Amino acid sequence: MLENFEFYLFVLLLITMLILLARKIQVAYPVLLVLAGLVISFIPGVPAIKIEPELIFIIFLPPLLYEAAWSTSWKELWRWRRIIFSFAFVVVFFTALSVAVFANYFIPGFSLALGFLLGGIVSPPDAVSAGAILKFVKVPKRLASILEGESLLNDASSLIIFRFAMIAVATGQFVWYQAAGSFIWMCVGGAAIGLAIAYIFLKMHKLLPTDSNTDLLLTFIAPFSMYLIAEQLHASGVLAVVSGGLFLSYRSHDFLSSASRIRTVTVWESFCFLLNGIVFMLIGLDLPEIVSGLGDTDISTAIGYGVAVTIVLIMVRIFAGYAAVITTLVMKHFITVADTQSPGWHTPMIIGWTGMRGVVSLAAALSIPLTMTDGTPFPQRNLILFITFVVILLTLVVQGLTLPFILRTIKLVDRDFVRSEKEIDYEIQNRLAQVAVDKIRNDYADKIENFPTLKDQLDKYENQLRSSEIIINYAEYRKIYIDILETQRMWLINKNREELLLDEEIIKKHLRLLDLQEERLNMKS
């Protein structure tokens, strides 16, 4: 690895530059990273990159899923639970079945079991891909919540299908009641193990004398513990990480201090941002390794199979989107549903077009063993791997590039949030000011005159309540405020340089406070 250190350093620098370029040209960065990886892989002399499945499943998948679970709204997940669970489990199974039937009939040498193996690999939209794409396109909140919630859970169901298909290919038989029992244990056991380990970590945060650094370290250990223990017990490591992450996120204000929460969010966002970049670049860089494994299979024929399977996946997902809408409209007469209005034909179409596949599918394909238990080559392994790569490339590039255009053309209306974010922002600020005034007046009335700072804070809240004026030119106000903060920042830096005996830690503390003020200002804009 050390002999290629310069190359890896160059790849990290290239990832950074491409992400900046993606922001500049308003394109989802996974698309550019995959394409760049493809281009680099054809350059003579570039070191061969071989993705180890264990590297993805153990090093990349737990932290990425954990961070996605922390940033997912539990309220929205529960509100849209029926459609999320139907897409994460029922639609994934139906997609795998469709791919299995197609492969069995149209790809020579594919049995139904091998078709299910391919279906289990390519059926789930990827959580990493979906999250990265959605950050670059504007979609209604309900649609984003459904897609994010689905992508958190569907990896588990697809990997379960993949495991059962592997057993069927290896043994030539499928015992349905054993599979049903294993499926229940993987789902229920995985979620239960994740919650149990999350509860242990919650207690560790509460009972141990932790600070922001040790709190951060524990949050890094948690997802790997959940995943590895669940997998050792033959349960779903994906569901363990997701359930544990959702639980700890929901309870984060019970066991993390404000300093720990700020540092944890900042570090985790940066860490997963780096992991995402590496993952998508690796997909492109792995092409030579995949092509070399095709052997005697004609590459144009293999590409044709990949394109056909991609079309099947897209059509099945669009069909599932419309089926979900019809089911909801029928079931609203019998049960309480999250939305009683028809979403029209646009929303199911968008749901169908957002099924980007990613690194989990590639890792699953790579994890297929080279040989069977009797030493014979695993049937169609190389072709399955190549088809998976084509599916990932087409869904990321074609759907990722066209999704913004489709959304601008259709112009979906967000029916849940009819008021602007700024209106809600100001309303909450005023309500918080009223809560603070009531608290001071009711509980600390006798302290107001004794503590000038408390009186100043009270005056500040009351002035805010008296002023119903909303800043019209907020951009100009923000520019002025940032200029003031920058002037204060330079004064601190110069003060630190001029006075040699001044404790620099005190200066750094005040610099961090200024950074927090600027960050609060950015959150409001």
DSSP string, 384-409: HHHHHHHHHHHIIIIIHHHHHHHHHH
Let me know: does 3 contact 11? Beta carbons within 8 Å. no
What are the tokens at 193?
Answer: 């193990």
Q: Is the pLDDT of residue 202 over 90?
A: yes
| Number of domains making up the chain | 3
Task: Choose between 259 and 391: higher pLDDT.
Answer: 391
Please give the angle made by the CA atoms of 145, 149 and 150, to the nearest 5 degrees.
120
Using alpha carbons only, how large is the chain's radius of gyration in Å? 26
Q: What is the dihedral of CA 225, 50, 389, 115, to 10 degrees?
A: -70
Residue 277 confidence (pLDDT): 83
Phi (first) and psi of residue 209, to 5 degrees: -80, 65
Q: Is the pLDDT of residue 375 over 70?
A: yes
Considering the domain architecture, whether residues 447 and 493 belong to the same structural domain is answered as no
Q: What is the dihedral of CA 157, 158, 159, 161, to 10 degrees?
A: 90
Task: Choose between 138 and 460: higher pLDDT.
Answer: 460
**For residue 323, how far is the Cα from the chain centroid?**
26
**CA quadruple 245, 251, 255, 260: dihedral sign:** positive
pLDDT tens string 266-291 = 888 888 888 888 888 887 787 777 77
Residue range 170-180: mean pLDDT, rounded? 66
Considering the domain architecture, whether residues 73 and 169 belong to the same structural domain is answered as yes
Residue 323 included in any domain: yes
| Residues sharing a CB contact under 8 Å with residue 216, sequence separation 6 or more, in sequence order | 260, 263, 264, 267
Q: Is the pLDDT of residue 498 over 80?
A: no
Q: Which residues pair with 371 in a beta bridge?
A: 377
Residue 87 confidence (pLDDT): 83
Q: Is the pLDDT of residue 468 over 70?
A: no
| Residues sharing a CB contact under 8 Å with residue 196, sequence separation 6 or more, in sequence order | none
Residue 382 included in any domain: yes
Residue 154 included in any domain: yes
Task: Choose between 15 and 136: higher pLDDT.
Answer: 15
Concatenating the DSSP letter of every residue in 268-319 gives: HHHHHHHHHHHHHHHHHHTHHHHHHTTTTS-HHHHHHHHHHHHHHHHHHHHH
Considering the domain architecture, whether residues 311 and 443 belong to the same structural domain is answered as no
- Size of the chain in residues: 525
Residue 338 included in any domain: yes
What are the tokens at 19?
Answer: 């992400």
Residue 312 included in any domain: yes
Residue 203 confidence (pLDDT): 93
Residue 193 confidence (pLDDT): 96
Instruction: Tell me how crowded residue 211 is: count the other CB atoms within 10 A of its CB.
Output: 11
224 pLDDT band, cuts 50/70/90, is: very high
Residue 28 confidence (pLDDT): 75
Considering the domain architecture, whether residues 522 and 480 belong to the same structural domain is answered as yes
Query: Helices H, strands E: what count in the chain?
Result: 26, 0
Of the candidates 84, 54, 127, 72, the residue with the CA atom closest to the CA atom of residue 245: 72
Considering the domain architecture, whether residues 108 and 187 belong to the same structural domain is answered as yes
Considering the domain architecture, whether residues 485 and 391 belong to the same structural domain is answered as no
423 pLDDT band, cuts 50/70/90, is: low
Question: Quick one: which H or E segment has residue 479?
Answer: helix 474-498
Interatomic CA distance for residues 160 and 163, integer angstroms = 5
Let me know: does 127 contact 64? Beta carbons within 8 Å. yes
Residue range 193-222: mean pLDDT, rounded? 93
User: At 326, which amino acid appears?
Assistant: I
Start-to-end CA span in the chain (Å) = 44
Please give the angle made by the CA atoms of 282, 223 and 70, to the nearest 5 degrees.
90
Residue 351 confidence (pLDDT): 80
Q: What is the dihedral of CA 182, 187, 192, 195, to 10 degrees?
A: 150
Q: Is the pLDDT of residue 397 over 80?
A: yes
Residue 420 included in any domain: no
225 pLDDT band, cuts 50/70/90, is: very high
Q: Classify residue 483 as exposed, middle or buried by CB count within 10 Å of its CB (0-12, 13-18, 19+).
A: exposed
- Name the percent of the chain lying above pLDDT 70: 83
499 pLDDT band, cuts 50/70/90, is: confident
Interatomic CA distance for residues 238 and 63, integer angstroms = 11
Three-state DSSP class for 371? Answer: strand
Residue 451 confidence (pLDDT): 78
Let me know: does 407 contact 138? Beta carbons within 8 Å. yes
| Residues sharing a CB contact under 8 Å with residue 104, sequence separation 6 or more, in sequence order | 110, 111, 112, 114, 115
Instruction: Write out the residue range of the structural domain in which residue 486 sits.
Output: 474-525
pLDDT tens string 295-309 = 666 788 888 999 999
- Name the percent of the chain lying above pLDDT 90: 14
Q: Is the pLDDT of residue 228 over 90?
A: yes
Residue with tokens 């002037």: 487
218 pLDDT band, cuts 50/70/90, is: very high
56 pLDDT band, cuts 50/70/90, is: confident
Considering the domain architecture, whether residues 286 and 358 belong to the same structural domain is answered as yes
Residue 233 confidence (pLDDT): 92
Considering the domain architecture, whether residues 453 and 379 belong to the same structural domain is answered as no
| CATH number for position 108 | 1.20.1530.20
Considering the domain architecture, whether residues 462 and 479 belong to the same structural domain is answered as no
How far CA 377 is from CA of 107, 298, 368, 504, in Å, comes to: 18, 19, 11, 65
Residue range 462-484: mean pLDDT, rounded? 68
Residue range 320-331: mean pLDDT, rounded? 70
Task: Choose between 331 and 373: higher pLDDT.
Answer: 373
Considering the domain architecture, whether residues 448 and 358 belong to the same structural domain is answered as no
Interatomic CA distance for residues 352 and 410, integer angstroms = 14
Three-state DSSP class for 190? Answer: helix
Considering the domain architecture, whether residues 48 and 163 belong to the same structural domain is answered as yes
**Average of per-residue pLDDT values in the chain:** 80
Residue 415 included in any domain: no
Residue 418 included in any domain: no
Residue range 379-405: mean pLDDT, rounded? 85
User: At 69, which amino acid appears?
Assistant: A
Residue 134 confidence (pLDDT): 66
Let me know: does 245 contact 70? Beta carbons within 8 Å. yes
313 pLDDT band, cuts 50/70/90, is: very high
Considering the domain architecture, whether residues 142 and 245 belong to the same structural domain is answered as yes
Residue range 371-386: mean pLDDT, rounded? 82
- The DSSP symbol for 126 reads P
